[in-house]
A and B are shown apart, each in its own frame.
Chain A
Amino acid sequence: MDSATETAPSAVQPKTFWQNKILRYALLGLGIGIGLGALFLAIRPLFGPTEWHGMVIQSNQPVTNFTLTSSDGEPVSLIDFRGKVVMLYFGYTFCPDVCPATMIELSDAMETLGEQSEDVQVVMITLDPERDTPEVMRNYVAHFNESFMGLTGTPEELIAVTAPMGIFYERHEGSSASGYLIDHTATVAVLDKEGKLRLVYPFGITGAEMAADLKYLVRE
């Protein structure tokens, strides 16, 4: 037998893919990595959103309670909403641009939330009690969503409510046709179920962005 024609001994043969130890470990590592990643993604939503859409506020105390007049003329206190996520918006019905635009977004947020919206109370508080009677407020907010609540108060009551929340407003004269107008902080404040201030949304926030945050707050 001619030894030169013999095939090389098997030990010198190149290893097959599965025989390569390093490759096997690398593949195992990759598999574990993907598995952990998938698990993390699956449970991630349980811990809250990756990013809140508003300005995040850390508060230890609930917002100081206040009592204003509901659209039925009855007194309503902030504490009455304990157990619900409360969204406070301060505006006035004479305002045609910023206020209705914000109310439409709030209404969109409620629609996006569906059943979960039952745990959210949107409250619009007027900064123009002279024009906005309880009846005006009732009809105004109901246009956007039947569940929305409109509150009024005396100028003194309103200052006591707004100042601690960082809401400011001032009247200025417009044209002869418009009469006075009101400059105001146009943010939306979000209080959790314990009445603590958690988020502040700037003007321009969308209903979808608010709904994404509220989804977590209602589950707390």
Chain B
Amino acid sequence: MSRRWLAALFCILGITACQTNRAPIAVSEAWGPEVPAVAQNGIFYLQIRNHSQEDDRLLAVESPGCTAAELHETYENEHGLMGMRYLADGLSVPAGETVTLDVGGFHIMCLGKTAEFRAGEHIPLSLTFAAAGELTVEAVIH
């Protein structure tokens, strides 16, 4: 066996080993903008990467900083009106893909915020996935 083939084999073994050890779902860059104290709600954005071979779905979000947290999507209708809709069926995270929640798109709406959305604060978020189960992250306010 040539050296090149050996290297390729190790490479494949290495990747496979990584995938079995790595969590199927990785959530990163969880953040929220500063929000006026008087505003009733806050908002969180983050990135979800599905490392597994199976499609997954973010079903629910909870946070001690919110009375209720909901998955929402900002949309623009055919008349140019912008609005938000509640994603009752959750958010699909296909195998091998990254789904980004960002301004003007998918987001986690923090209804009846109880935490201060001030720069530097960390607010815990608990995300429930259909396959991967529960995952906890901290959103940084900035």
Contacts and interface: CB of A to CB of B under 8 A. Distances in A.
Contacts of A156: none
Given A97-B72, A185-B80, A139 B86 contact: no
A21 to B, nearest CB: 64
A184 B82 contact: yes
Task: Give the interface SS of chain B, mostly helix, strand, loop or mixed.
Answer: strand
A112 interface: no
A140 B34 CA distance: 12
Given A97-B72, A168-B81, A185-B80, A140 B36 contact: yes
Contact of A182 (B80, B83, B111): B83
Most chain B CB inside 10 Å of its own CB: which residue of A98, A131, A143, A178: A178
Contact of A178 (B39, B70, B81, B88): B70
Contact of A177 (B33, B38, B67, B82): B67
Contact of B39 (A140, A186, A187): A140
B37 interface: yes
Contacts, number: 94
Interface string A175-212: 10110011111110000000000000001100000000
Interface residues of B, number: 33
A136 B43 contact: no
Contact of A139 (B36, B70, B76, B112): B36
B21 interface: no
Contacts of A203: 76, 82, 104
A208 B107 CA distance: 25
B110 interface: yes
B65 interface: no
A150 to B, nearest CB: 10
Interface stretch (A11-19, A31-39, A88-96): A88-96
Given A96-B41, A104-B33, A178-B111, A183 B81 contact: yes
A184 B33 contact: no
Contacts of A187: 80
Nearest to B105: A97
Interface of B: 33-43, 67-68, 70, 72, 74, 76-77, 79-84, 86, 88, 103-104, 107, 109-112
Contacts of A96: 35, 39, 41-43, 107, 109-110
Q: How big is chain A's contact interface, by range?
A: 20 to 34
Contacts of A115: none
A186 B84 CA distance: 12
Nearest to B77: A183
Interface in A130-185: 131, 136, 139-140, 142-144, 168-170, 172, 174-175, 177-178, 181-185
A168 B77 CA distance: 12
A100 interface: yes
Contacts of A144: 36
